[in-house]
Amino acid sequence: MRHFLHETDFAPKEIGDVFALARTYKRQRGRPCSVLAGKTWALIFSKSSTRTRVSFEVGIRELGGNTLFLNRNDIQLGRGETIEDTAKVLSRYVHGLVVRTYDHADVERLAAAGTVPVINALTDFLHPCQIYADAFTLAERWAGKRSNNLIGALKGRKIAFLGDTACNVANSWVIGANLLGMKISLAGPKGFAPSKTLDRMLEVQGLKEGYQFTTDPYEAVRGADVVYTDVWVSMGKEEETRKRVGQLSSYAVTAKLFAAAKPDAFFMHCLPAHPGEEVTQEVLDNPRSIIFDQAENRLHVQKAIITKLVAPKKRSS
Ligand code: CP
């Protein structure tokens, strides 16, 4: 049984296959598809969502399947039924699970106890679907329409991530950049540096390039092909809003900071954005801001991820 809980669940060659398939799905949108014919996938969400929920629900239906949206608090999981029992019961009804939750260990436990594929739709530690869609967005820009070498187009490029560099999207981008041969520089206050958990994961996975961390946002964006930021107050940290906004204010992506990256650099944000906090409206509206391409590509890439997870195993000859 294959799951997609971490960026590393697909080898770089397989990520290339996912991107190629995502491009086909994007070009052929509207063509009937039967990859999930007769199958139902459940979405279990403990946190709010616009992009992830809608792109998965639409994507699963476009693959020929049905969806069932389960708010954690509407099922017995929210009243204390164990993750293991929930996984075993749901595995008797549905053919796959898409899970958005707080503790990353919860998706690991669901996957271990159930008998259907599980996709991580965001935990406090990682957001792998986002990073695959982001990397695909860059690859299709840099590779051009004719080239099939989508992964090759990413190699050696530099991404600068600013603000809360210990958040799930930053963690996922560090892993993604290492897997895809990109360089990543993170800039934020000292207390927001990447965690030891991330460092251990890089070590265990043999991802030796790692990342650069600096407290100077201008140092991070120098020579960058991409400037990326995320909200400063992640879901679950709302009571820290005032403190975090004060601590992170020097890392806002302004037109001046964006101009210090390469002249053709792209601006990216996983959305939702808080204009006037982590980024100015001027940068969000810049012609090199590709935030809505990122959002759209969640749909195509997630359809490709699901297709790869449910593909029959090749027989060894
Ligand atoms: N980027 C992202 O995951 O958006 P949602 O929280 O709206 O799903």
Residue indicated by tokens 């990073």:
131
Return the closest-CA partner of residue 253 out of 238, 225, 231, 272: 231
- Which residue puts its alpha carbon closest to atom 3 of ligand 1? 52
pLDDT digits (tens, 9 = 90+) for 108-164: 999 999 999 999 999 999 999 999 999 999 999 999 887 889 999 999 999 999 999
Q: Is 167 an annotated catalytic residue?
A: no
Catalytic residue selected from 23, 130, 247, 302: 130
Q: Which helix (H) or strand (E) holds 284?
A: helix 281-284
pLDDT digits (tens, 9 = 90+) for 234-285: 878 788 888 999 999 999 999 999 999 999 999 999 999 999 999 999 999 9
pLDDT at 39 exceeding the cut of 70: yes
Strand partners, 279: 253, 275
pLDDT at 315: 67
Q: What percent of the chain has pLDDT over 70?
A: 99
Two structure tokens written together for 77: 């999981």
Which residue intervals of 48-103 are DSSP H helices? 51-62, 83-93
pLDDT at 238: 85
In this structure, the dihedral spanned by the alpha carbons of residues 9, 10, 12 and 14, taken in order and rounded to 10 degrees, is 180
130 lines ligand 1 (CB under 6 A): yes
* C-alpha span between 220 and 169 (Å, rounded): 17
What value does the mean pLDDT take over residues 173-198? 97
Asked, as a colleague might, if the bond just before 272 is cis with ω within 30 of 0, I would say yes
Architecture of the domain defined by 130-294: 3-Layer(aba) Sandwich (3.40)
pLDDT at 317: 56
Residue indicated by tokens 């980024």:
279
Return the closest-CA partner of residue 171 out of 213, 224, 128, 133: 128
Report how far ligand 1's centroid is from the alpha carbon of 270 (Å). 7
Q: Does domain 7-126+296-310 have CATH number 3.40.50.1370?
A: yes
pTM for this one? 0.96
Q: Is 298 an annotated catalytic residue?
A: yes
Burial (CB count <10 Å: 0-12, 13-18, 19+), residue 223: middle
Residue indicated by tokens 């890089």:
202
pLDDT at 20 exceeding the cut of 70: yes
pLDDT at 98: 98
pLDDT at 316: 60
Per the CB < 8 A criterion, the answer to whether 139 and 150 are in contact is yes
Q: Which of 134, 271, 296 to mutate to test the pocket of ligand 1 (most atoms within 8 A of CB)?
A: 271
Work out the mean pLDDT of the chain and round it to a whole number.
96
In this structure, the dihedral spanned by the alpha carbons of residues 6, 11, 17 and 22, taken in order and rounded to 10 degrees, is 20
pLDDT digits (tens, 9 = 90+) for 56-82: 999 999 999 999 999 999 999 999 999
For CATH 3.40.50.1370, list the domain ranges present in the chain: 7-126+296-310, 130-294
* C-alpha span between 137 and 58 (Å, rounded): 19
Per the CB < 8 A criterion, the answer to whether 96 and 63 are in contact is no
pLDDT at 237: 79
- Which residue puts its alpha carbon closest to atom 1 of ligand 1? 270
Return the closest-CA partner of residue 232 out of 161, 289, 178, 294: 161
Backbone φ, ψ for residue 164 (5° rounding): -80, 90
